[in-house]
Structure 1
Amino acid sequence: GVFYTPRALVSFVLRGADEALARIGAAGGLAGPLVHGATGAPVRLIEPAAGAGAFLVELLRHARAARARQLAAAGHDDAACEALARAHLRRALLPKIVGFELLAAPWAVAHLRIAAELARDGPLESGLTLDLRRADALAEPWPHEGCVVVVGNPPYAGKPARPSPRIHALLRAPIPAAPGYFEVDGAPLRERTSKWLADDYVAFLRQAQVAVAAAGVGLVAFVTNHGLLRNPTFRGLRRSLLETFDDVDIVDLRGEHGPRATGDAADENVFPVRRGVCVALLGRGGGALRAAASELRGRREDKLRTLARARPGELSPRPLAPRAPLYLLGPVDDDRLAELDAGLALDRLFTVSGVGLTTARDEFVIDRDPAPLLARVRAFRDHPDAAARACEALGIRRKRGWDPERARAALRRDCPDEQALQGRLQPILYRPFEPRLIFLHPALVWRTADRVMRHMLAGPNVALVSARTNKSELADHFFCARTMIEAKCGESTTQSRLFPLYRHDDGRRRPNLDPALLVRLCPARPVTADELLAFLYAQVHATAYRERFAGLFRSECPRLFRPRGPAVLAALAPLGAAMLELHLAANDPTPTTGGGAPLERAGVRHDGARIVLGDGRTIERVDASIWNHTIGGYRVCARALRGRGDGRVGAAELAALTRVVDAVRRTRALTAEIDAVIAARGGFSGAFQGWGDQSRGIS
């Protein structure tokens, strides 16, 4: 009941359910006899997250109108159509519906709306009503007799609202025809972070799947988070769904994270949320697998206008052939995916890699200047009140599972004096071109990612910053660092991943690469680790690479392709090395002086040809392509003055902004040189080749 489902979307789902029911053997859909033809099983309808009744009310309207149309087509007059449609609604449909809603307010509203809808046809017979229960739909199994049809828009928020041992077990249980979500083809999922599988909508989907699997025939028609279509963490879920359901229809409504996530400024969500959504119609009828997917882009009002009148089959669906290891359910360019598969996934190229560290309280443990950072930590350590009161007084966020009293005791033990405090300061790259300092102590940093970050602390190193996937279609999630990184450093729509070039083990520094891969990259001559990274950095900055695979990176790890001969390597590696050096230099810390107009009052704007500060100072020759240039989803020029001292723009701040602008300008020039090298060799396919084996990575 938090977000009301638009009527246009509800009606679209129900029309899709009609189509799907007909395909799995329930002729006439919701307006038919409500019996599965092959088995004779009666249809049973469940709405597990009824909210204010959007689906239940529309279900009554839809079934009544559809039945009237069927009767009219059969030659009945208007009066007969009206009477028989009313009888269908009251005698055939109502007794077969059960709804659940946990919250009192939407449950009461739903009752009123349903009563008003039913009252359109006059008083109800005694005892005849819709079974809408105020209850937790996940507390116990649902009815699974007959042909089970589950419809609705279950909640999704990235975490369970009501953690349940029963659901925890159900998600993992190897149920016949419905394997658990934490395995794929019999092998454990082995996800380092699987929190997204704990989301409520996943629990509702699992409960619905188990009910249909137990019944042997049925349908799930959900509006839900579209992350389940491509997110690698959901590959076990997708594989399980394909075991249960043989009729799969997906409509991706997209709209995730606004313009950057789609590459289309006009693509909007049908809900006021940042997560894209989809419609999933999952049927089980006992036939061969039929899977199709379509998508809908555009402005919210245009999408709703289309949804109000269309059926899923009218949105140009494309056949799907989900395959190991990801079993993708979204629209996929199979030819392009096969080409990408020929490259070597970054998580196979680098022996050790992992996501950036997560503090859970960036504003407390990360800063540009050491003095205020140490002052905050010192204030927490030495606060006279209980630790919980100290957090409240100092504005420290308290993440679930973090014990502030234990954290403060650890600080007092490990950092009793100023020398120990200062020894915990470490450089970190917070965002592209935004170097910071972090107070690195596990008492205050939620996840230190030591398995990977220790290689950046133990000695000189350089690393590629990318991401396992990118929820955007703009493939700009490639950067570099000499230091540790924060989890959102190089990719704003998901977690960034760090790929160190070197490992530091037992006091020795060695490449974080399989030596055999260095040989295979270019068999004609030796290749060093630094040259490989430079070549890779040039490749991922090539326009042809980004445009070719951008859509696939929503579910696929980036790949390295081999050069077609030593001449390509020799031409691109120096350009990649220059790009690396440019970015690494621009990542170095700069001083903060303050002075000048306060930034929050003066503002920074772009007037089409230059950057203008509120006090009139300018940076010339900055066209829109430079100002709007993104790295990892961040407009780096617009962000360049964030977090600098007291927000005042002095000479040092202006110099820092100028340095970022110059770095972007030179980045674009180097990209043009890289593109020219590739074009001179006949384009991407003429410059690069695959590795000749299955090189997909999912770990």
Structure 2
Amino acid sequence: MTTQQYLEQLNKRYKTGISREHTYRKDLEDLLISLVKDIDVTNEPANVTDCGNPDYVITKKDIPIGYIEAKDIGKDLDSKNYKEQFSRYRKALDNLIITDYLRFQFFKEGELVTQIEIATIENGEIKPIAKNFQQFENLIKDFCTYIGQTIRSPKKLAEMMAGKARLLQNTLERALEQDIADDDNTELNEQYETFKDILIHDLTPKGFSDIYAQTLAYGMFAARYHDEVLDTFSRQEAAEKIPKSNPFLRRLFDYVAGTNIDDRIKHTVDNLADVFRAVDLRKILSKFGRSTKTQDPIVHFYEDFLSEYDSKLRKAKGVWYTPQPVVSFIVRAVDEVLKSEFGLSQGLADTTKTKIQIDSQTTDKRSKSGYKQIEKEVHKVQVLDPATGTGTFLAEAIKFIYNNNFKAMQGAWSGYVEEHLIPRLNGFELLMASYAMAHLKLDMLLTDTGYKPKSSQSQRFHIYLTNSLEEHHPDTGTLFANWLSNEANEANQIKKDTPVMVVMGNPPYSGISSNTGEWITSLIEDYKYVDGVHFNERKHWLNDDYVKFMRYGQYYIEKNGSGVLAFINPHGFLDNPTFRGMRYSLLKTYDKIYTIDLHGNSKKKETCPDGSKDENVFDIMQGVSINILVKTGAKKNNELAEVYHYDLYGKRNDKYEFLSQNSLSSIGFKKVEYSKPYYFFIPKDDSQRASYEKGFSVVSLFPENVTGIVTMGDSFAIAETKQQLKDRLEDFLQIEKTEDNLKQKYKLGKNYAKWILENKNNISIDDNKYVKLAYRPFDTQWTYFDNKIIWRWREKIMKHMLNGDNVGLITARSNKSDSCDHFYISNSIVETKCGERTTQSSFFPLYLYPNDDSLDSSRVPNLDMSIVKEIEKSLGLEFVAEPQPADKSAPLSRGEYSLKTNVGVVPCADPIRGQPQGIAPTIKPNGHTREGGYLTDTSDNIGDSRLHGNDGDINSPSDMKGWQSQTDGVVLKNFSPIDLLDYIYAVLHSPNYRERYKEFLKIDFPRVPYPTIDTFWQLVELGSQLRQIHLLESQVVTNYITSYPIDGDNIVDKPNYKDGKVYINKGQYFDNVPEVAWNFYIGGYQPAQKWLKDRKGRELGFEDILHYQKIIVALTETDRLMREIDKIKT
């Protein structure tokens, strides 16, 4: 398009009389692209500057080079209406055009350089000024050759850096894998092997390419920050500008990006240099600091970068920015402890030195290490942040020392920094980008405080690229890359010889840790013992990285003999039973332990004590705590530490304010009276322990039990209907799929997609393997029971639910909620989150079936007979595994009886009890047959009003008093497994029981009181009703109490409750829903809400509508029955 053609196009649109500013946008875009090659023009860009969004951004190689703001044809560009907007753009944008499509004003660095008109408006038409065309075109070309700092948004810079770095990482990873496959001894392969040998021994090609890409990105970042000549920048210049305070980064950058740079990445690296040439980094960071209201723009920028570069890497490494008030509190607490507990009047600023023994270079066979020991003088208060990230804690320590000791001593500051500060501050970091940023942050901070190095050869910061959780390695000095060995050797020296007195920081939180080295794994074994006894658990929670860092810090404090560990980390270790060995070990090591529980656990749905919102100080779901652990060395070896605890609830900003305004000594800690075997670090009500422990544990009673199945890919391996699952598997097996296909179609994680593809050829469809699955309360779904589909199929236990009639209890080892509602029932296999939302639930089948090849086909109770014997004694009854007919008694199976409920009198059936053909005993006014065992009827008429109401139906427990083993001519001789299960189920649904024993129910499998004959059968009856209602087998649930009165599309949109109505969308609702049913909890879920939410966007069918109404009846009845249970004195 020529300028003439551009104007002709404008004229056509203008003459219509209905065109507006936006009408001409595409025409100007086309003209610019025609006049200047190799540029991109973006119309209406988003978030390109921090001053607003001009109408166009001109980019070259993705780098902004100019901006254009356009107004409608004929508008006065000098109008006061535009003054504020244009002034803002001129101040912020160095290369700017303001135009009405005919008149063009050119601004450079805020000043009007020139303006030109290429047309005027006469008689309602656009009249070209042809003589100005050439000059106009030259001005446009000149505008597009501008070289300046046109990247103004820190987020934009982070995105562009991350994009280039990601491209570098992908290119390098593919190149390296190809080199390894070809056994090609390339420079890149050699660099990889060197890194692996010297620095990070478990380094993978992906990990190495990450280091490589981040080195290039952040090497240039550091170099550009120190570049005073902004008009030029290249990778060669970057190598010279990286500060000498970080010799490792300086050398590594030159090593990977110097004259021997790999040709496969050279172009991308040079493009990255072009990005930095367009940035005034000092200016952009200072603005970013002000806009984010923080003194640490480095952290925010790095988080933006990492989120764009690889958000999964951030999660895998547990990288989370620590809020400044938290960092400040921890640093101040450490200073306070050093003064109060160790008598160091200068606290963190202490300059005291001590002498230590270290290995010399001279061999000595008599020495343990094989080297002669020599004496070395070092500072006493050595500080280590073992997961230093971008150096936030070390930087805060510097600021604290400067502000409290040197503001009036500026003349002594530089000398103090070199002689007494840098030698004491140590940090380890595994991610190259954050390692580089930590160096840059400390460099910037010390410069801001007025520190002036004595010479260009001043000592480096003691922040090292190393894996903290690897033990020091003695072999690094013999390898060829000396400067790489120096980095490793200096890190090893800290690990091996430095008497670390303070360990502080925010260690990573990663439940599935990749740090599985032999050294740290052996240290973690100490956390599996209590009072010298191994508690034989293989919980992966003890493998969380934060636990390993706690043990790592403990190792250094123990090695030094005294010191302080100050971390913020997940608060689960304070009271989770799995961490009892960890707590016991900490109690043995330290003298005093201070914990500030910051709560904010959205997984537990934590709220403030008054019910108001409780927020996390991080943007994560796990609750956290600040932990200050002090070892003075004065405590006797057989003594345990004193523990002090404080709860801090509330909104995030309120917590920040509290931490900012308080010190360790000003907080009203409560001393914790811990006890065996759990040694909790939070106050617990232990008054009911003796009573509680008299009962039997369900995990002991049902010896065969297991946690529920884990598919690792629910959206693929579980479906609402059998047909849906069949169609899904057939599609998977018959049509070629890739990992990406599966992940995208079923929203799967990479691990399951990869795993299921590896299993594909070993999957053969068997219709018998399609089985029902108790997925969530009242939500039975389907799965394919095969270990090629289900990651953890728990076949040893779950098979007993497939071989015949069976039922089982669902409960959990722990529960993070005060409501203690983690009890449910199932007659099918069970998913791990079915009965406990916050952790996982376990399943306890009532019966065990023999293997298919067994000659004996009879089932046996899954009960510990020693406990059953004690129950027999308590009841004075005989236990029978399978009731048999005797005298006038009827065997119990499918026994029918009448039940009076809130919804009327209905007949009920119990399918779990086996029933000989033709027998269906019924409760009648003039006779009684007990379901569980069998009855001997010694009279023709049982008229005890305590058992029967006027109509002969069973009423409330008050009508059932006196139902004993021998009463009114009825002799109950025995009890069976289902009676015992029903009794347990009733007890677990007692609100009084849950409240009385909640402290214990939250930390271990429930213990149940041994039954007494006075109340046993009453509780059995109520437990039986609950069981059948929860399994939706009782006909009670079909006596609907709700209606569904409005016709519509039945699509679930946004379920909500109002005035007794549960709306599934704006027009349709279930009416007469009791509020108690809507809000009722089972297993941490609110079934009336969750069932609908899980079907959002789906049409409810006829059976779905009926099923939901059954749920409402079941929840309403559960509430009633629980209140009835509490009327029985247990």
Task: Give the structure-1-normalised TM-score.
Answer: 0.84
1:531 correspondence with 2:987: no
**Superposition pairs of residues 129-528 of structure 1, within 5 angstroms:** 130-141=461-472, 142-143=495-496, 145-172=498-525, 180-191=526-537, 193-257=538-602, 260-261=605-606, 264-288=611-635, 289-383=641-735, 385=736, 391=742, 395=746, 397-399=749-751, 403-412=755-764, 415=765, 420=766, 422-505=767-850, 507-521=857-871, 523-526=874-877, 527-528=975-976
Pick from 350, 356, 380 the counterpart of residue 33 of structure 1: 350
CA RMSD of aligned residues (A): 3.3
- Give distance in 1, aligned partners of 2:353 and 2:1127: 62
- Give distance in 2, aligned partners of 1:61 and 1:671: 59
Q: Is contact 1:17–1:29 with CA below 8 Å preserved after alignment?
A: no
Distance 1:577 1:342, change over 3 A: same
Tell me the number of residue pairs that the alignment of Structure 1 and Structure 2 aligns: 648
Q: Secondary structure at the match of 1:266?
A: coil
Q: Is contact 2:527–2:581 with CA below 8 Å preserved after alignment?
A: yes
Who is 1:62 aligned against?
400
Superposed CA deviations along residues 320-376 of structure 1, whole A, max 9, x for unmatched, are 354443332233233345554444332223212210000111111211211120121
Superposed CA deviations along residues 52-110 of structure 1, whole A, max 9, x for unmatched, are 22211211222334447xxxxxxxxx846x66788766643332111122223333333
- Give distance in 1, aligned partners of 2:1034 and 2:657: 47
Report sequence identity in percent: 29
TM-fit CA distance, 1:654? 1.7
Q: Is contact 2:713–2:752 with CA below 8 Å preserved after alignment?
A: no
Gaps of 5+ in 2: 1-302, 304-318, 357-377, 473-494, 636-640, 878-974, 1039-1045
Distance 1:382 1:596, change over 3 A: farther
- Which amino acid in 2 is paired with 1:489? C
**Superposition pairs of residues 538-617 of structure 1, within 5 angstroms:** 538-563=986-1011, 565-585=1012-1032, 597=1048, 602-614=1053-1065, 616-617=1067-1068
- Give distance in 2, aligned partners of 1:519 and 1:166: 48
Q: Is contact 2:708–2:842 with CA below 8 Å preserved after alignment?
A: yes
Between 159-168 and 52-61, report the one with greater CA deviation: 159-168
Q: Is contact 1:500–1:512 with CA below 8 Å preserved after alignment?
A: yes
- Give distance in 2, aligned partners of 1:431 and 1:228: 28
Q: Secondary structure at the match of 1:307?
A: helix
Q: Secondary structure at the match of 1:640?
A: helix
**Superposition pairs of residues 672-691 of structure 1, within 5 angstroms:** 672-677=1123-1128, 681=1129, 687=1130
Q: Is contact 2:1051–2:1096 with CA below 8 Å preserved after alignment?
A: no
Who is 1:662 aligned against?
1113
Distance 1:400 1:236, change over 3 A: farther
Between 546-555 and 482-491, report the one with greater CA deviation: 546-555
Q: Is contact 2:771–2:783 with CA below 8 Å preserved after alignment?
A: yes
Distance 1:483 1:295, change over 3 A: same
Who is 1:690 aligned against?
none
TM-fit CA distance, 1:227? 1.8
TM-fit CA distance, 1:167? 3.2
Q: Is contact 1:259–1:267 with CA below 8 Å preserved after alignment?
A: no
- Give distance in 2, aligned partners of 1:570 and 1:36: 75
Q: Is contact 1:356–1:487 with CA below 8 Å preserved after alignment?
A: yes
TM-fit CA distance, 1:580? 1.3
- Give distance in 1, aligned partners of 2:594 and 2:353: 20
Who is 1:177 aligned against?
none
Who is 1:71 aligned against?
none
- Give distance in 1, aligned partners of 2:1007 and 2:598: 28
- Give distance in 2, aligned partners of 1:539 and 1:490: 17
Distance 1:379 1:181, change over 3 A: same
Q: Secondary structure at the match of 2:775?
A: strand
Q: Secondary structure at the match of 1:112?
A: helix
Distance 1:375 1:556, change over 3 A: same
Q: Secondary structure at the match of 2:503?
A: strand
Q: Secondary structure at the match of 1:95?
A: coil
TM-fit CA distance, 1:615? 5.9
Distance 1:481 1:23, change over 3 A: farther
- Give distance in 1, aligned partners of 2:451 and 2:721: 73
Q: Secondary structure at the match of 2:860?
A: strand
Q: Is contact 2:569–2:624 with CA below 8 Å preserved after alignment?
A: yes
Q: Secondary structure at the match of 2:1015?
A: helix
TM-fit CA distance, 1:453? 1.2
TM-fit CA distance, 1:8? 1.1
Superposed CA deviations along residues 274-303 of structure 1, whole A, max 9, x for unmatched, are 111112222222233322222222222222
Q: Secondary structure at the match of 1:634?
A: coil
Distance 1:221 1:400, change over 3 A: farther
Who is 2:1073 aligned against?
622
Pick from 642, 648, 652 the counterpart of residue 1103 of structure 2: 652
Q: Is contact 1:47–1:100 with CA below 8 Å preserved after alignment?
A: yes
**Superposition pairs of residues 105-120 of structure 1, within 5 angstroms:** 105-120=433-448
Between 456-465 and 227-236, report the one with greater CA deviation: 227-236
Q: Is contact 1:491–1:632 with CA below 8 Å preserved after alignment?
A: yes
- Give distance in 1, aligned partners of 2:710 and 2:555: 36
Superposed CA deviations along residues 511-535 of structure 1, whole A, max 9, x for unmatched, are 2222332343461432533222222
TM-fit CA distance, 1:204? 1.8
Who is 1:691 aligned against?
none
- Which amino acid in 1 is paired with 2:983? F
- Give distance in 2, aligned partners of 1:183 and 1:371: 50
Q: Is contact 2:414–2:452 with CA below 8 Å preserved after alignment?
A: no
TM-fit CA distance, 1:135? 3.1
TM-fit CA distance, 1:132? 2.2
1:48 correspondence with 2:406: no
- Give distance in 1, aligned partners of 2:752 and 2:542: 18
- Give distance in 1, aligned partners of 2:796 and 2:815: 23
- Which amino acid in 2 is paired with 1:555? I
- Which amino acid in 1 is paired with 2:468? A
Superposed CA deviations along residues 190-219 of structure 1, whole A, max 9, x for unmatched, are 22x422222222222222222222222222
* Bigger radius of gyration among the two: 2
Task: Give the structure-2-normalised TM-score.
Answer: 0.53
- Which amino acid in 2 is paired with 1:569? F
Superposed CA deviations along residues 21-53 of structure 1, whole A, max 9, x for unmatched, are 346525336346365999998121001112222
- Give distance in 2, aligned partners of 1:404 and 1:66: 59
Between 88-97 and 509-518, report the one with greater CA deviation: 88-97
Q: Is contact 1:35–1:41 with CA below 8 Å preserved after alignment?
A: yes
- Give distance in 1, aligned partners of 2:861 and 2:522: 42
1:3 correspondence with 2:325: no
Distance 1:36 1:11, change over 3 A: farther
Q: Secondary structure at the match of 2:322?
A: coil
- Which amino acid in 1 is paired with 2:446? L
Q: Is contact 1:380–1:390 with CA below 8 Å preserved after alignment?
A: no
